[in-house]
Structure 1
């Protein structure tokens, strides 16, 4: 819904946990098509989020 309403441009960065909804092939393919870079926290390392928050 956010993609339809906000029409993000390429170069956008999305940061998420390693949930299956974010790691699945369909979601990752959509991000690549929209030229959105995805970063994820490393397993068991909560400090990955600190610089972004």
Structure 2
């Protein structure tokens, strides 16, 4: 999350949605989110449907990347997961957003939002 916030530099008001895992409930995570002007949103305890997009992502990552076995070193795992996330965001077309990649959809949304006053 630190990396994403530093690189992407989202505008204040970003909503960070997660489950109620201990890493998201931790004071340091809450402070990090608040420091960047973001809001924290959590799903209800034990309800995976509240966080369906994230659950879908993790399901795909496990099926596409981890079904082949395990990694021999932590650095190998970090590199492969990083490559998978880059591929997922830049190239994978998702039916929920009109068969576009998340990066393309976000760019298109930002472009059209500039012309539509809130």
Superposition TM-score tier, normalisation by shorter sequence: 0.7 to 0.9
Q: What RMSD over aligned residues (CA atoms) do the two structures have, in Å?
A: 1.3
Q: Shift of the alpha carbon at 1:9? A: 1.3
> Any stretches of 5+ residues in structure 2 without a counterpart?
54-118
Q: What's the TM-score once normalised by structure 2's chain length?
A: 0.39
Alignment map for 1:15-34 (pairs within 5 Å) = 15-34=17-36
Deviation digits for residues 1-50 of structure 1, max 9, x if unmatched? 11111111101011101111111001101111111011111112233235
1:35 to 34, 37, 54: 37
Name the structure where helix makes up a greater proportion of residues. 2
Task: Choose which of 13, 16, 20 in structure 2 pairs with 1:14.
Answer: 16
User: Which of the pair has more CA radius of gyration?
Assistant: 2
Unpaired runs of at least 5, structure 1: none
Runs of 4+, deviation exceeding 4 Å: none
TM-score (norm 1): 0.78
Mapped contact 2:5–2:36 kept (Cα < 8 A): no
Q: Secondary structure at the match of 1:18?
A: coil
